[in-house]
Chains A and B, each alone.
Chain A
Amino acid sequence: MSRFVLPIVLIVVLAGATLAGMLGSADGDPNLVRIVSSLPRTGSAKAQTDTIVNGIKIALEESGYKAGKFTLEYADWDDATAGAGQWTAEAETANAARAVRDPDVMVYIGTYNSGAAKISMPILNKAHLLMISPANTWPGLTKPDKGDPGEPDIYRPTGEVSYLRMVPTDDLQGPLGAAWAKELGVKRVYVLDDNEVYGKGIATLFIEACQDLGIEVLGHESIDSKAQEFKPLMATIRSERPDMIYFGGTTQSKGGQIAKDMIAAGLDCKLMVPDACYEEAFIESAGPENVNDRCYVTFGGLPPEELAVREGPGKAFVDKYQQRYGKMPEGYAIYGYEAGKVAVEAIRLAGLKDRDAIRKSGLSIENFDKGALGVWSFDENGDTTLKTISGNIIRGGHFQFVKLLGE
C-alpha cells in the first residue's frame, strides 16, 4: 500500500497548486476595480450607515457600475463588532490591511468615526490608496494647526494627500454652534464630551468659541461612555444652574442617556448636540418626550427634510432615495452618495488601474457638479470647499430645520 502514498500526495499537491494559481489569476482582472466602504454596520450607528451605503449604491447604479473602461464592484465592510456595539480599532485596522492586500481595491470609502480614520489613514496612505470619508469631521485629520500637534502629517507617512472628505469640519461646526447658542439667549453653559477624538475635539472648539463670545463656561467634564447612567453628574450640573448643556459626542457614546438623565435630575435647560447625534436613533434612545423643543442639533450641510423642499440636485437625490428605498434618508446618506460619485469620477479621470493615479485624479477634482451637493472643489488638504452648517431642533419626535448657521 505504501507505494501508492507518494503519488497520491503528489497529485493532491499539484491539484492544489493549480487551483491556487487559477484563483490568483482571477484577482488580477485588469478591467475590474473594487470600491470598498468601511463603516460601523453593527450597533446603533447601523440605521445611519445603512443609508450611507444606500447612497453609495445609488451613485454606483447611476454610473451603471462602470467608470471609463472599468467595471466596478462594491463591497460593504463593517468596522464595528457586536460585542462593542460600535467601531473598534481592531476591525478598522483589519479592514484597511485587507484593502491594501487586495490588488483590485482602488478606493476606500470611510470612515464614519474620526477616531477610526486616525487608524486607517496612515495604513492606506502608505499604499497610495484613495480614501474618501462621508462623515469624519475632526479638523486635525486634514487641517494643519487645527488639530493636535503633529496632525495631519502623522496620517501621511508618504507626505502625499490620499484622504478626501465630503463634510464641513468641526472647526466650523463647533464655533457656529456656540454663536447659535448665544443667539438663543444662552449665557451659562456646561460642556460634556465622550472622551473620543470627535467628541472631545468639537467640545473643545465649542468652549473656545464660547469664551470669545462671552458665554460663561461653567465646567467641562468627559464622561465614560460605557457608564449606564449619569445621575450624580447631573446633580453636580444642576447646582451650577446652566442655561444649556453642550454634549460633544455621538448617539453611540450615550447622547440619549445624557438627555434623559438631565430631565431625571430636574434639569430642564436646553441641550445642544453636534452632527453625530443627527439620526433617528438618537431621538429613539433619548425618548422623544425628553428632547422635544429643547434639544438643538447642528449638522454639516442641509438635512434631507430641508433638501426635499428646496429645488436642486439635493431634492433630486432625496426623491430618488425615497423612491428606491421607500423612506427618508438619514443625514449622511447624501455624503455617501457624493463619495460614491467622487470615487467613480476619480477612477474615470485616471483611466488607469493604478492606485497612485486614482489618488491624484481624486485630489484634482474641481468644480464638481455631478453629485447632489451643488458645485464644489477639494482644497489642497483634501477638504471640501462647502461650508454649510445647519441648525436644527427636535420637535414632535423629529428633527426640524431651523436655519443656516453663519449666514
Chain B
Amino acid sequence: MVTCLLWADMDSAGFAQAFLQYALIGLTNGALFALVALGYTMVYGIIELINFAHGDVFMLGSFLALTLIGALAGLGWNWDDPAMLCAGIGMLLVVVPIFCAAVNVSIDRIVYKPLRTAPKLAPLVSAIGVSFLLMNVGLLWGGAADRHFPDLVSRQNLLGEGAAIGFTVKDLMVVGITVPIMIALTLFVRLTRLGKAMRATAQNPVAAQLMGINVDRVIALTFAIGGALAGAAAVIYGLYINTVSYQMGFQNGLYAFTAAVLGGIGNIPGAVLGGLVIGLARAFGSAYVGERWTSALVFVILIAILVFRPAGLLGTRTREKV
C-alpha cells in the first residue's frame, strides 16, 4: 500500500526531492540507532545476554556530556569559537565513552559476573533491574523534566541556504563520526588478536579458554567497547536531537535492541543494517503513512522480517556471532 502511495505522488517534481530529504533524515537517525545497537549485539554475541541496562548507560553518558558542557562554559570555554568547539566535542568524545565503558564494565563485574553460570533468566532479570537502577540515577542527576542540550553545532545547510533539501553541518557531524567508528570496530574485530579472541569466545567460550584465551578479560573488553560506543552515541545524540531526559535510555534502547534483532542479534554488520532500516522506516513512515504510526510501523517490519528470516536480516549469512 505504501508503494502505491509513493507512485501516486510521483507526478510532482518535488516528490523526488522530498524522498531524498526523508532518506537523509532516516539514514542520519539510523546511524545513531546503529551505534547503540552495536553495544547490545556485541554483548549478546559473547555471553548471550540481552543487556537491558545498555540504553541507560547511554542515557547517563548524555547527562555527563550535558554536565561537562555546562561546567566548561562556566570555566570560560567559548563554545562559539569553531576551534574551541571542535576541541570541546573531541574531548567529550573521549571522556564520555571512557565513563560509559567504566560504568558498563562495572555493571558486568558487580552484577553479571557472579551470575555467569546461573540459568540464563537470572542475568536477564538482573539486567532489567540494573536498567531501572540507572534510570533512577539519571532521575537524580538530571531531574524529571526533559533537559535542553545546548545547540552547539551549526545548522547551516551544506547544500546552500534555501535549498530544497537540507543536509546540515549537524547531519554531517553525525555521519562523519558514526561511520568511521563503525568501520574501525569492524576492522578491530576482523583483524586484531583481541578481535580474534572475541570471535573465538563468541563461538565457544570453553574451547576458547582451553586455547589459552582469558575469557573474563575478553568479556570485560566487550562490555568496555559496547559502553564506549554508547558514550559516543550519547554525545552525538545530545548534539543532534538537543533533548536529553532520564527516560531516553529506555526508548532508544528499545529501538536499538530492535535494530540488533532485525539485523540478526550477535552480528555486527547486522546491527548497523538494522539501525539504518529502522531510521528509514521511521522517516518514510512519518512521511507516507502518518506520524503517529511510525513506532507501530517499526515493529510491524520487525515481525514481518522475523517471520520470513527468523535469524534476522544477516543472521544466517555470517556464522560468527561477533
Give me the interface of A with B, judged by CB distance under 8 Å.
Answer: 42-44, 46-47, 82-83, 85, 195, 221-224, 226-233, 235-236, 239, 251, 254, 256-257, 260, 263-266, 281, 284-287, 289-290
> B22 at interface (Cβ–Cβ under 8 A)?
yes
Considering only CB atoms, which chain A residue lies closest to B283 in the complex? A232
Q: For the complex, what is the distance from the CA of A195 to the CA of B290, rounded to whole Å?
A: 13
* Interchain CA distance A279-B294 in the complex, whole Å: 29
The CA of A226 and the CA of B247, in the complex, are separated in Å by 10
* B144 close to A46 (CB less than 8 A): yes
Contact between A230 and B148 (Cβ–Cβ < 8 Å)? no
Chain B 288-322 interface 0/1 with A at a Cβ cutoff of 8 Å (1 = within)? 00111111000000000000000000000000000
Q: Which residues of A are found within 8 Å of B290, using beta-carbon distances?
A: 221-222
| Contact status B148-A287, CB under 8 Å | yes
A287: B residues at CB distance < 8 A? 148, 150-151, 242
Which residues of chain A have C-beta atoms less than 8 A from B201's C-beta?
none
User: What residues of A have a CB within 8 angstroms of the CB of B136 in the complex?
Assistant: 82
Q: Is the CB of A257 within 8 A of B243?
A: yes
Chain A residues within 8 Å of B21, by CB: 235
Instruction: Assess the A231–B291 pair: CB atoms within 8 A.
Output: no
Main secondary structure of the interface of B (DSSP, over half): helix
Chain A residue at minimal CB-CB distance from B166: A266
B295 touches A285 (CB 8 A): no
Q: Quick one: closest A residue to B24, CB to CB?
A: A235
Q: Is the CB of B148 within 8 A of A223?
A: no
Chain A's closest residue to B146 (CB) is: A285
Q: How far is the CB of A47 from chain B (nearest CB, A)?
A: 7
* Docked CA distance A47–B146 (Å): 12
Other than the given A222-B290, A266-B157, 4 more pairs (CB < 8 A) read A44-B146, A227-B282, A235-B22, A257-B243
Chain B contact residues, CB within 8 Å of chain A: 14, 18, 21-22, 25-26, 29, 132, 135-136, 139, 144-148, 150-151, 155, 157, 166, 168, 170, 241-243, 245-248, 251-252, 282-284, 286-287, 290-295
Cα A221 to Cα B18 with chains together (Å): 18
Could you list 15 A-B pairs, sorted by A, with CB under 8 Å?
Answer: A44-B245, A223-B291, A223-B292, A224-B294, A228-B252, A229-B29, A229-B241, A231-B29, A232-B22, A233-B286, A257-B243, A284-B147, A285-B147, A287-B151, A289-B151
| Residue among A82, A230, A232, A257 making CB contact with B146, cutoff 8 Å | A257
**Minimum distance in angstroms from B31 CB to a CB of chain A:** 13
B175 to chain A, nearest CB (A): 14
Q: Which residues of A contact B292 (CB under 8 A)?
A: 195, 221-224
Residue from B18, B166, B243 having most chain A Cβ neighbours under 10 A: B243
